[in-house]
């Protein structure tokens, strides 16, 4: 699959602001590309995605380009559509670059709230499928962010193959997550070559983005699995109220927030001293699909629920006393004589004090995937965390082995992706991985 489909010489650096012919193929369908490119409307269709869209609304738009990718410290939006992609057999380095370039052009339009393709959803050639699927028309940008990640398999497959000539760019710390106690991982919701985290304040905007990015990927990558999330379970800015998870508890109180620049530099962003240039200013994303047996949880008493979490259910203050944002005191003793925050309470075991100072930025979402024949909800937390080194997550998750909350949890999906730094004007997502020296 090397070389451009149009027969032009392959420089490895696609033209910025232009969807490749192969990307158009996904948007329009094979017959329509021939019709459109060969016909009078061809030039217009091949121009920048969304460039001619008069109907899009950029109000509520989050800039797509910047030093870091958006969707990490961006105040957590209300909705999620997370997708893991598998690259198809036969896709080579040039095709991968072309895909990332096409995704960049489209992501820029989508995050502006613009339609894809010059003809958008309803103004293109009548005999071709519309280049934009249309369901986000009139919904605006809705604070959409698209965060792109690279799986370890991009650098080395399970069989040790270097498919894309990237093996020398593999960061030393980028190892697969180990198996954890109580893992019940389903391969159908685990891993992937690439990931896209789409977050927005409107669910249809997030779904529209993943749907259209998936169309553009046609012939190069397919969605391996995806997950919808309907309620954020973290604050990533002090300007936000703390939301609640499906256990009914405030979640995201003790998080690394956007305002904590020192904390972000120390724990979340890959430092400038990192040997791999492409990853400096980036991060690592861990996703865990955690099923919660909420019917059993709902039968636990209030005091038992609070004992398990280590915080009060109402205000979210630590059981050692104080208000929500007061620091927990793990030495404090309860009136009954034992530790005020139980030794197997979630917040004790997850706290940096118990984990050599390790901190992460949590950005997860509640989900409900329907219900089973017994009438139980397929509910849970789609946990997402960002950290400068996957070892941080591993350390905390290993500490949680003793967590009394485990009785109500099953980790059923998992993934780890390197998040390249943000991009400057004219660059495509992850460009430094393919162009700069290590």
Question: What residue ranges bind ligand HEM (CB under 6 A)?
Answer: 245, 247, 249-254, 288, 290, 292, 309, 311, 346-347, 350-352, 360, 381, 383, 393, 396-397, 400, 409
Q: Toward ligand HEM, which CB reaches closer, 288 or 307?
A: 288
What is the nearest approach in angstroms of ligand HEM to the Cβ of residue 385?
Answer: 6
The sign of the torsion formed by the CA atoms of 158, 161, 166, 172 equals positive
| Contact status, residue 124 vs residue 47, Cβ threshold 8 Å | no
What is the nearest approach in angstroms of ligand HEM to the Cβ of residue 349?
Answer: 8
What is the nearest approach in angstroms of ligand HEM to the Cβ of residue 381?
Answer: 4
Q: Toward ligand HEM, which CB reaches closer, 270 or 319?
A: 319
Residues 6+ apart with CB under 8 A from 394: 177, 178
The sign of the torsion formed by the CA atoms of 426, 430, 432, 434 equals negative
What is the nearest approach in angstroms of ligand HEM to the Cβ of residue 394?
Answer: 9
What is the nearest approach in angstroms of ligand HEM to the Cβ of residue 107?
Answer: 28
What is the nearest approach in angstroms of ligand HEM to the Cβ of residue 338?
Answer: 19
Give the H or E element holding residue 213: helix 203-216
Q: Toward ligand HEM, which CB reaches closer, 105 or 360?
A: 360
d(CA 57, CA 143): 11
Residues 6+ apart with CB under 8 A from 384: 82, 197, 285, 286, 287, 362, 363, 364, 365
Q: What sections of 12-158 are H helices per DSSP? A: 21-28, 30-38, 42-45, 93-112
Backbone angles phi, psi at 142, to 5 degrees: 50, 35
What is the nearest approach in angstroms of ligand HEM to the Cβ of residue 254?
Answer: 3
What six digits make up the tokens of 98?
A: 């072309």
127: how many CB neighbours lie within 10 A of its CB? 11
What is the nearest approach in angstroms of ligand HEM to the Cβ of residue 321?
Answer: 15
d(CA 204, CA 213): 14
**DSSP string of 305-316?**
HHHHHTB-SSS-
d(CA 103, CA 146): 10
Q: CA–CA distance from 424 to each of 48, 106, 125, 421 (Å)?
A: 17, 16, 33, 10
What is the nearest approach in angstroms of ligand HEM to the Cβ of residue 169?
Answer: 27
What is the nearest approach in angstroms of ligand HEM to the Cβ of residue 70?
Answer: 22
Q: Toward ligand HEM, which CB reaches closer, 60 or 378?
A: 378
Residues 6+ apart with CB under 8 A from 351: 254, 328, 330
Q: Toward ligand HEM, which CB reaches closer, 123 or 236?
A: 236
Q: Toward ligand HEM, which CB reaches closer, 86 or 245?
A: 245
| Residue 387 three-state SS | strand
R_g over Cα of the chain:
23
What is the nearest approach in angstroms of ligand HEM to the Cβ of residue 32?
Answer: 45
Q: Toward ligand HEM, which CB reaches closer, 110 or 361?
A: 361
Q: Toward ligand HEM, which CB reaches closer, 17 or 182?
A: 182
Q: Toward ligand HEM, which CB reaches closer, 82 or 103?
A: 82
Q: Toward ligand HEM, which CB reaches closer, 411 or 421?
A: 411
| Contact status, residue 304 vs residue 345, Cβ threshold 8 Å | no
Angle at 222 between CA 226 and CA 84, to 5 degrees: 35
Give the H or E element holding residue 288: strand 283-292
d(CA 279, CA 27): 31
Q: Toward ligand HEM, which CB reaches closer, 161 or 304?
A: 304
């Amino acid at each position: 699959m090397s070389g451009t489909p149009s027969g032009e010489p392959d420089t490895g650096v696609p033209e910025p602001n232009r969807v490749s012919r192969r990307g158009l193929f996904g948007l329009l369908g094979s017959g329509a590309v021939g019709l459109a490119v060969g016909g009078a409307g061809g030039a217009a269709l091949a121009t920048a995605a969304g460039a001619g869209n008069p109907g899009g609304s950029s109000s509520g738009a989050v800039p797509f380009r910047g030093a870091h990718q958006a969707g990490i410290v961006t105040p957590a939006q209300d909705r999620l559509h997370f997708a893991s992609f598998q690259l198809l057999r036969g896709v080579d380095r040039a095709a991968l670059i072309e895909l990332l370039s096409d995704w960049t052009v489209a992501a820029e339009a989508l995050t502006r709230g613009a339609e894809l393709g010059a003809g958008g959803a309803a103004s293109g050639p009548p005999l071709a499928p519309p280049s934009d699927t249309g369901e986000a028309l009139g919904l605006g940008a809705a604070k959409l962010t698209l965060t792109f990640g690279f799986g370890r398999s991009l650098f080395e497959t399970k069989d040790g193959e270097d498919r894309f000539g990237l093996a020398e760019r593999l960061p030393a710390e980028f190892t697969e997550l180990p198996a954890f106690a109580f893992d019940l991982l389903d391969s159908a919701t685990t891993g992937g070559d690439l990931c896209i985290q789409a977050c927005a304040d409107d669910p249809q905007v997030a779904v529209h983005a993943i749907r259209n990015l998936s169309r553009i990927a046609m012939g190069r990558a397919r969605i391996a699995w995806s997950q919808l999330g309907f309620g954020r379970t973290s604050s990533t800015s002090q300007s936000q109220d703390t939301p609640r998870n499906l256990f009914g508890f405030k979640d995201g109180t003790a998080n690394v927030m956007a305002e904590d620049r020192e904390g972000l530099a120390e724990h979340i962003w890959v430092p400038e001293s990192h040997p791999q240039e492409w990853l400096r200013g980036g991060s690592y994303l861990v996703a865990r699909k955690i099923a919660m047996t909420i019917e059993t949880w709902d039968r636990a008493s209030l005091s038992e629920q609070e004992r398990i979490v280590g915080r009060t259910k109402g205000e979210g203050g630590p059981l050692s006393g104080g208000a929500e944002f007061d620091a927990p005191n793990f030495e404090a003793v309860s009136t009954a004589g034992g530790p005020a925050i139980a030794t197997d309470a979630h917040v004790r075991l997850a706290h940096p004090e118990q984990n050599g100072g390790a901190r992460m930025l949590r950005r997860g979402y509640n989900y409900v995937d329907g219900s089973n024949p017994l009438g139980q909800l397929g509910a849970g937390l789609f946990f997402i965390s960002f950290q400068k080194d996957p070892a941080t997550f591993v350390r905390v998750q290993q500490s949680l082995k003793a967590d009394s909350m485990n009785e109500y949890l099953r980790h059923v999906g998992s993934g780890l992706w390197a998040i390249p730094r943000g991009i400057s004007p004219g660059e495509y997502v992850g460009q430094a991985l393919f162009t700069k020296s290590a």
